Amino acid sequence: MKDIHNFINGEFVATARQFTKHSPMDHAPIARVHEAGRDEIDRAVQAARAALRGPWGRLPISERAELLKGLVSAIDRRFDDFLEAECADTGKPRSLASHLDIPRGAANFKVFADLINSVPAEFFESPTPDGRGSLNYAIRRPVGVIGVICPWNLPLLLMTWKVGPALACGNTVVVKPSEETPQTATLLGEVMNEVGIPAGVYNVVHGFGPDSAGAFLTEHPGINAITFTGETRTGTAIMQAAARGTRPVSFELGGKNPAIVFADCDLDATIEGCLRSAFANSGQVCLGTERIYVERPLFETFVQRLKAGAEALKIGCPDEEGVSMGPLVSREHQNKVLSYYRKAAELGATVVTGGGVPPMPGHLAQGAWVQPTIWTGLGDDSPIAREEIFGPCTLVQPFDAEDEVIRRANDTDYGLACSIWTQNLSRAHRVAAQIEAGLVWVNSWFLRELRSPFGGSKQSGIGREGGVHSLEFYTELRNICIKL
Ligand code: NAD
Ligand code: 6OD
């Protein structure tokens, strides 16, 4: 079993206290993770502060950007190591991790390195009473030491989506990966050293949330801002910690995302899109579709086509040929998802397909597997329609009118994403503008332009990141006024 250490000030740090990471595939122990206590967190924050004042803070922007771009090729050279670590922690298919998680995990550094090299400056000339005038200009300065708290579903990708802009803007970071997925963030420490990123710029501390590394990090007064991706409930706890010292937060939280399918859609493309949005990464995508509204004339056909697609998904281990769905990340999460499967049955849902655990051979029977599941026959008030399950499951319901479906899609505490499927362009624009969500896709899902704003409305988040929007969080504007 391998040891996973904290990464503090450019060094791998063991601790007396450790916890075991289990494989999602068969629950076998795969890693001993060294848990950071308050002391290690303090050392990480001090190291980050020293790097900010020292080598990193003094580096010209163009050199900083070049170092970050070096990470892209360095990750590429260690591609197989990252792939193996991500798949071992999450159980996701190699085909998915090799096309999405690892390349995007690397690309986040290039996108923000390019961006920081091309930030436009603001200048204002103004008259003065003596006629000489003045010149105002604004400079962007790093915010300081950023606490980065990450989830387990797209571990490397979602971590570098925060670390990339934070470092590009000249900050230093202390990252707390999820306890379920400690490996790739730690591996990135090795790559940081290989590339020559100064010690202390990137630090990783391992542990859990409450009364552990997550809470210790967010409570640490040396953290200047906190960026977090995870559950809405956790966001509330982190916001309370951030209130001490009035530190800013950027939150990407949960969702209960609808898809709206009009009868005039391109049915093949819609089925393909909805299968992806409901079942990709075993449904563990914050942008995933757990509610599908289908215009009534298409309803029965849609449900049968979606069922056929779900039943054709091959469930298996990351390396298996043709596998399209892995296990859930852990037994704990399996128990949560299965509790919703039971609840749906108790509430009288029609289980179109799935609803339980797939039969798995031998030791795999110990893993966190669940079946892709489709329900019909429950109303908008049911917990299945309202609560985020974060599994490979979706509730399909019919609708009759455009106004009605907009109202029902918006009838949620969340507001992360929505996808609209129609060939009527006017309707697509009209409906998209009325959806209360940070991201609306038309005839697509999870098409990501990294310069565009990303974030949620209502309880799905605070703030927007992506492109120049990330600069708003990771830099502080200072105005300088020169009397001419
Ligand atoms: P989680 O909130 O349980 O944990 C996320 C991280 O927060 C982990 O590192 C955890 O250890 C830490 N944490 C937990 N309690 C904490 C506390 N009190 N103080 C500090 N840190 C704490 O989320 P998860 O289960 O890892 O991820 C799944 C959730 O994340 C889902 O709700 C999903 O929708 C959401 N998510 C949202 C987005 C988005 O972009 N909006 C993206 C991915 C995941
Ligand atoms: O693509 C991204 O940048 C992003 N933040 C995706 C989030 C996916 C949620 O699970």
DSSP secondary structure string, 252-273? Answer: E----EEEEE-TTS-HHHHHHH
Residue 196 shares a structural domain with residue 115: yes
Q: Is residue 454 part of a domain?
A: no
Backbone φ and ψ of 325, nearest 5° = -145, 125
The finding on whether 158 has its CB within 6 A of some atom of ligand 1 is yes
Q: Is residue 103 part of a domain?
A: yes
Q: Are residues 367 and 431 in the same domain?
A: yes
Mean pLDDT of 137-165: 97
Among the bound ligands, the one closest to the CA of 287: 2
> Which ligand is closest to the CA of 161, given by its number?
2
252 lines ligand 1 (CB under 6 A): yes
**Closest by Cα among 176, 234, 166, 244 to 204:** 176
For residue range 378-415, what is the model confidence (pLDDT) as tens digits?
999 999 999 999 999 999 999 999 999 999 999 999 99
The answer to whether the CB of 286 is under 6 A from ligand 1 is yes
How far does residue 194's CA lie from ligand 2's centre (Å)?
Answer: 27
Same domain, 207 and 245: yes
Question: Which residue, among 317, 325, 318, has the nearest Cα to 373 in the 3D structure?
Answer: 325
Distance 297 CA to ligand 2 centre (A): 33
The number of distinct structural domains making up the chain is 2
Three-class DSSP category at 261: strand
Which residues have a Cβ under 8 Å from the Cβ of 284 and sit 6 or more positions away? 152, 153, 328, 329, 333, 390, 391
Asked if 117 and 264 sit in the same domain, the reply is: no
At 148 the pLDDT is 98
CA-nearest residue for atom 9, ligand 2, is 286
pLDDT of residue 33: 98
- SS3 at position 9: coil
Average pLDDT, the chain: 97
Pair 214, 248 in one domain:
yes
Looking at ligand 2, which atom is closest to the CA of residue 284? 10
- 134, containing H or E segment: strand 134-142
* CA-to-CA dists, residue 405 to 53, 303, 443, angstroms: 54, 18, 17
Q: Are residues 329 and 436 in the same domain?
A: yes
Residue 226 sits in a domain whose CATH number is 3.40.605.10
Of 230, 225, 193, nearest to 210 by C-alpha is 230
CB of 216 sitting under 6 A from ligand 1: no
**Same domain for 474 and 430:** no
At 230-268, the pLDDT tens digits run: 999 999 999 999 999 999 999 999 999 999 999 999 999
Look at residue 121 in the predicted model and tell me its pLDDT: 84
Residues 105 and 228 in one domain: yes
Residue 246 CB neighbours (<10 A): 6
Of the chain, the percentage scoring pLDDT greater than 70 comes to: 100
pLDDT for res 466: 96
Spatial CB neighbours of 446, under 8 Å, sequence gap ≥ 6: 276, 277, 280, 285, 287
User: Is 395 among the domain residues?
Assistant: yes
Is the shortest distance between the CB of 35 and ligand 1 below 6 Å?
no
Provide CB contacts within 8 A for 269, sequence distance 6+: 421, 443
Q: Which two tokens stand for residue 360?
A: 């798995």
Pocket lining: 390 vs ligand 1, CB cutoff 6 Å: yes
Just list the catalytic residues: 252
pLDDT tens string 348-362: 999 999 999 999 999
DSSP string for residues in 300-344: HHHHHHHHHHHHTPPB--TTSTT--B---S-HHHHHHHHHHHHHH
118: amino acid identity, one letter: S
For ligand 2, the distance from its centroid to the CA atom of residue 169, given in whole angstroms, is 20
Q: Does residue 285 share a domain with residue 209?
A: no
Nearest Cα residue to 165 out of 453, 450, 471 = 471
Q: Give me the pLDDT at residue 287, please.
A: 98
In a domain, 178, yes or no: yes
For ligand 1, say whether the CB of 416 is within 6 Å of any of its atoms: yes
Centre of ligand 1 to C-alpha 153, Å, is: 9
Same domain assignment for residues 121 and 245: yes
Average pLDDT for residues 75-80, to the nearest whole number? 98
Strand-pairing partners, residue 394, are: 374
Q: Is residue 455 included in any domain, yes or no?
A: no
End-to-end CA distance of the chain: 67
Residue 120 — very low, low, confident or very high, per pLDDT cuts 50/70/90? Answer: confident
Kindly state if the Cβ of 462 falls inside 6 Å of ligand 1. Answer: no
Q: What is the dihedral of CA 186, 56, 100, 191, to 10 degrees?
A: -40
215 lines ligand 1 (CB under 6 A): yes
Atom of ligand 2 nearest to the CA of 466: 3
Give the residue, out of 158, 159, 469, with the most ligand 2 atoms within 8 A of its beta carbon, to mutate for a pocket test: 158
> pTM of the entire structure?
0.97
* Any domain includes 173: yes
- Residue 350 falls within a domain, yes or no? yes
Residue type, 230: G
265, 397: one domain: yes
Q: Are 467 and 452 in contact (CB under 8 A)?
A: yes
Residue holding tokens 């001993």?
Answer: 32
Question: Which CATH number characterizes residue 444's domain?
Answer: 3.40.309.10
As a whole number of angstroms, the distance between CA 152 and CA 206 comes to 13
**Nearest residue CA, atom 4 of ligand 2?**
158
Cα 357 from Cα 334, distance rounded (Å): 9
* CA of 286, closest atom in ligand 1: 34
Q: Are residues 285 and 419 in the same domain?
A: yes
CA 208 to ligand 1: nearest atom: 11
Per the structure, the complete domain to which residue 247 belongs is given by 2-253+460-483
